[in-house]
Structure 1
């Protein structure tokens, strides 16, 4: 079976990492898998990207061109109006099945989807596929019926850019045969409630990772490498643009840390933050803080997770939450808000703590609950690794996808 994955990038960003992990997982069980991307960073021969100099120049400017219709919105919003050159490349590779992933930043025009003749899977990385352009809806639920008067565009008009994007999707995908795969039950529920995918088959397959690479290493060694204290409790937080992306919840973590001081941890805790450098001027978080900067490799992440006592993932919305599953695989329990994709990763008071949605005091209580009892912390650590082994291995994810691919291919052949 020949599988072709479409994704804007190969390894840059969380969605790219998720798509690439699936691609490598399928190769690991003998599937002929390739990735077709707009921008390639790796040297992986099985990742296909434009090689002609003019195509490279055009693709370099696609993300900026794609945002020309936006009015300086600070939210991630993708109209996907640019024409693309994907169909000739799909035809050239002759796949048996096409798996879409994160295809934004001008890479994939909405109308292209209906032109793909092969059986199609769409692995959701966020909410974009069923909204009028936003990647996360925040508190807006207009995608359930139709978009318009978009709060992320600061619009009060029913006929706005989000309405136009939503109508294009409805018209272009009206009779399309596609299977949606969500990494979490929360995102699957959102997709099923949408006007675009309400009648579409939706499956849930969690994101996988290499649990032989993401595994615990001795905490003392990890802390020596990172020059972290051997005697303090280390609270970890991290994400791409960790302190600037409002959806990742750093602003809520700051409040929770103020609450945490009430539990008497002033001299017992140090913070570690990856995905950001120390801001100027520095922010007083109430505890000594180590900024570890931007990270791009699995080994460094494994070391950081292993050095921590607890990982905090205070995202407002999360399709899945790969930092949480990576942390569990390294034996570090996770504290997060309930009510999004993280609820599938964390078993409350088994391998971490699920706080009431956006309740910063309960988030602080969760951190305290994990740290206050050393025997409990050890049990949580064991169960964290156990959960990763049982549910998040790359091989298990690949086998689940292969089973779905084979079923869809069989159904497609019988109808041909």
Structure 2
């Protein structure tokens, strides 16, 4: 029997918790349901769950709040500030994480997203436990960026970093890359990626190209994320019954360029100049209505930030189609959640969403970053009632067969067993 420890920077119930924290917690819950003695270690605990552990002292929450700012201090040389944030995680400040993990004494460690100072790069090799690392973005094999924005410097040794605005080979990104290369050169590591796209990126990286990689999608509880009758869902949210509702949502939905709201905006502007202007309306969650909202020519319902899963299920069920127009996405958890609620998804034919959306089966994959084809995909998903009903059925089927927490948890148990066996074999040599 395993006693795994799952590690994630964010508490899954924190307001700023991203999909990776929710993915880790869902797996934790799946393990507990199977009778596995799982625990989860986070930087700053908010959730009321005794199996989730935070820093064991009163200063822990204070330290966790100031550590990201301290960790980012070297970035100020490159112009980093609140007005001009540079999204590179350096992970250089020491902390007591290794001793804390040693006290917990798990059989196996499953790392998820551990940036913002939670686990220093050099600490990982000191855990002396079998390690499974679930990649939820690109940080592990880059010079510090979570998404490379199309840069391929991570296939070499970073440096000349476009995110830093650097033209120097020995810049901060190169420094981070070299620290990883030195600290992890003899690390016995099992890598899991949440999508085939992320696995391909990992294999092309100079740091981890020789590692074996397993692909396991993020799981979800299909008994929670399940369809609600659309009319009922709309009544609960006071949404119109006589419109076809288009849904879009993410953390910082309208301001995070990676999430592609500007591309959706262009597609919807095209639709507003057609007869669809009178048929559709838009729902946005993850952002409140801005002071100067975009005029699409039709009504927009801004829902703000939502952490309550029950409200998310109602939102997904109320919509006719979910749009996930991300430019870079390791997986696309809002897409899988939408499918589980029987709502088809329109995305671009790129990155991790290719594993989630099956073209013209449970949604539509538009040509890469084409506003025109994104608009075409919305029309295609909505214009034929019989086709739409089939898409909804197949969306739910995909979620049950591929993203079900039970299926995903059993896949992880197989990985844990293999990782522990290999770790013990290496120690015996």
Distance 2:137 2:267 in 1: 26
Matched, 1:203 2:214: yes
- Out of 300, 315, 318, the position equivalent to 2:326 is 315
**Structure 1: stretches of 5+ with no match in the other structure:** none
Partner of 1:368: 379
Partner of 1:5: 6
Displacement of 1:149 in angstroms is 1.1
Partner of 1:16: 21
Q: What is the aligned-residue RMSD (CA, Å)?
A: 1.1
Give the TM-score normalised by structure 1. Answer: 0.98
- Out of 272, 287, 292, the position equivalent to 1:261 is 272
- Out of 58, 61, 65, the position equivalent to 1:53 is 58
Partner of 2:397: 386
Distance 1:91 1:129 in 2: 23
Give the TM-score normalised by structure 2. Answer: 0.95
Contact 1:263 1:368 in 2 (8 A): no
Give matches, 1:264-279, under 5 Å. 264-279=275-290
Deviations 1:218-268 (A, max 9, x none): 101110111111000000000010001110000111111122234420110
Deviations 1:275-334 (A, max 9, x none): 000001222123210001110111000000000000000000000000000000000000
Partner of 1:44: 49
Partner of 1:119: 130
**Structure 2: stretches of 5+ with no match in the other structure:** none
Displacement of 1:55 in angstroms is 2.8
Deviant stretches of 4+, over 6 Å: none
Distance 1:296 1:123 in 2: 23
- Out of 150, 175, 188, the position equivalent to 2:199 is 188
Partner of 1:62: 67
Distance 1:282 1:251 in 2: 13
- Out of 96, 107, 110, the position equivalent to 1:96 is 107
Deviations 1:197-237 (A, max 9, x none): 10111100000001000000010111011111100000000
Distance 2:41 2:312 in 1: 26
Distance 1:132 1:412 in 2: 27
Contact 1:260 1:365 in 2 (8 A): no
**SS of match in other structure, 2:342:** coil
Contact 2:112 2:135 in 1 (8 A): yes
Distance 2:355 2:29 in 1: 23
Distance 2:329 2:162 in 1: 19
Contact 2:44 2:60 in 1 (8 A): no
Deviations 1:43-90 (A, max 9, x none): 110111123222332122112212222232534210111112111111
Give matches, 1:12-411, under 5 Å. 12-70=17-75, 71-72=79-80, 73-411=84-422
Distance 1:385 1:75 in 2: 39
Deviations 1:15-62 (A, max 9, x none): 111111111111111211111111111011011112322233212211
Distance 2:86 2:361 in 1: 35
